Amino acid sequence: MSDKAPGWIAAPGTPLLGELTVPGDKSVSHRAVMLAALADGTSRIDGFLEGEDTRATAAIFARLGVHIEAPEPSVRLVHGVGVDGLQPPDGPLDCGNAGTGMRLLAGVLAGQAFDSVLVGDESLSRRPMRRVIDPLERMGAHIDSEGGLPPLHIHGGSMLQGIDYALPVASAQVKSAILLAGLRARGTTCVHEPHPTRDYTERMLQAFGWPIDFVPGMARITGGHRLLPTDVVVPSDFSSAAFFLVAATLVPGSELVLRRVGMNPRRTGLLHVLRAMGADIVEEHAGEQGGEPVADLRVRHAPLHGIEVPVEHVPDMIDEFPAMFVAAACASGTTTVHGAAELRVKESDRIDAMARGLRALGITVDEAPDGACIQGGQLRGGGIDSRGDHRIAMAFAVAGQRAASEVRIGDVANVTTSFPGFDTLAREAGFGLRVA
């Protein structure tokens, strides 16, 4: 835990009541900027996430010669330059903390005429990039890395060729990198997934007018088309809503409505799992926003019981495990998770970070290489190292709402990567949460 980085003190507040809207979806915001930048003309993005990750992506496209205006918060006007219009950058491109930014950009940059270098912060510099380098090199790209880790030196001037690629791990980032490289490749690029993952790249390519075939688990495109400027309305991020879904479930007397939450089925695995544990979450006013399903989610306090998390839901809730581990810690009985080894290579090793953190609060957790077994119990107070991981910090802010005394969370600065304003919104809803 760093002395300098700001931290939080979380402790029970009041029941969580009222209505709130969480910020725009991170995955959709990244992709919207990328496709708008590569389109032939101006696209407007509403609901853009003003998080550090997505702002880093927008800043990178500005460095690549794309004029991007921010007429008001959460709005971007992107003056696209076309799939062949990016300009050489004047130095390394900083993706910050964003794995999505770096991996998708590797796909965009692999087929360009110029060289580029992608760098990231300390956490991103430890994250595996071989998973994108390998398929992109099979397409003809030349990418140097530090033994499979960032920085990525992408050599320009390679003519890419479409491939037929079976992903070894279910990853929307890798799938998307390959599809984005496929825009500038000769012939057809086809990606098969071991389990279907979020399909925003596919849906958005279609919305921007690029011909694409896709079904859950497979996507196929052909190079040589153009992207038409298209306005995008970004739904609220289910992964940000997840912290409030769990918190309102856990705090007695709560009834909270989360407005216009993105309900893409590849994102909502946590809903199935929380309901199987006994949660009371009702979808209201289901509709569509910018081609994505959205709904208001009404969540009321309910006692939870432990379950075995069905493996088929794992990819659909991959970012929600920190919140789910807290739900499991407060449930009666045992919750087991398997098939989630990917959690070890997120912004931190999330299995280890959650297991150690929950143990520090008196909960029994046995780790497995691909999951954990959590015995529900009474949380006590204690000190937590968030490891600079936004979702670990927010998960323990939720844990504090059910702890017997204060939970001190160190190093919460990176919460702004995905959820700027989380602590203010949480306090407004009823959280006991203050900056330490």
Which residue's CB is nearer to ligand S3P, number 52 or number 319?
319
Minimum distance, C-beta of residue 17 to ligand S3P, in the bound complex (Å): 29
| Contact string (CB under 6 A) for ligand S3P, positions 174-213, x = contact | --x---------------------x---------------
From the candidates 237, 296, 319, 389, which is the catalytic residue?
A: 319
Candidate residues 54, 116, 171, 348; the one interacting with ligand S3P per rule CB under 6 A: 171
As measured in angstroms, the least distance from the Cβ of 95 to ligand S3P is: 13
Under rule CB under 6 A, residue 342 binds ligand S3P: yes
Q: Tell me how far, at minimum, the Cβ of 347 lies from ligand S3P, in Å.
A: 8
Residue 116 beta carbon to ligand S3P: minimum distance, rounded to whole angstroms: 20
- Closest contact distance (angstroms) between CB of 165 and ligand S3P is 14
Nearer to ligand S3P, 179 or 331 (CB): 179
- What is the rounded distance in angstroms from the CA atom of residue 145 to the CA atom of residue 423? 37
Stretch that binds ligand S3P, among 135-143, 171-179, 245-253, 333-341 (CB under 6 A): 171-179
| E strand or H helix at 93 | strand 93-94
Using rule CB under 6 A, residue 354 touches ligand S3P: no
Residue identified by tokens 């003056």 is 79
Q: Which residue among 86, 172, 263, 361 contacts ligand S3P (CB under 6 A)?
A: 172
- Strand pairing of 212-215 and 164-166? unpaired
Footprint (CB under 6 A) of ligand S3P, residues 300-329: 318-319
319 annotated active-site: yes
CB of 318 to ligand S3P, least distance (A): 5
Radius of gyration of the chain (CA): 21
Question: For 415, left (φ over 0), alpha (ψ -120 to 50), or beta?
Answer: alpha
Q: Choose one: 33-41, 166-174, 215-223, 277-285; the region binding ligand S3P (CB under 6 A).
A: 166-174
How crowded is residue 13: how many other Cβ atoms within 10 Å of its Cβ?
A: 17
Q: Give buried/exposed letters for 26-44 (b at 16+ CB in 10 A, else e).
A: bbbbbbbbbbbbbbeeebb
- Phi/psi at 79 (5° precision): -95, 90
Which residue in the set 7, 8, 24, 27 belongs to the binding site for ligand S3P (CB under 6 A)? 27
Rounded CA gap, 117 and 426, in Å?
38
Q: Which span sits near ligand S3P by CB under 6 A: 169-177, 227-235, 265-273, 361-369?
A: 169-177
- Cβ atoms of 103 and 176 closer than 8 Å: yes
Q: How would you class 435 by CB atoms within 10 Å of its CB: exposed for 0-12, middle for 13-18, buried for 19 or more?
A: exposed
Strand partners, 432: 11
Tokens representing 120?
A: 């990231």
Supply 384's token pair. 């937590």
* Catalytic residue set: 319
Residues that bind ligand S3P (CB under 6 A): 27, 100, 171-173, 176, 198, 318-319, 342
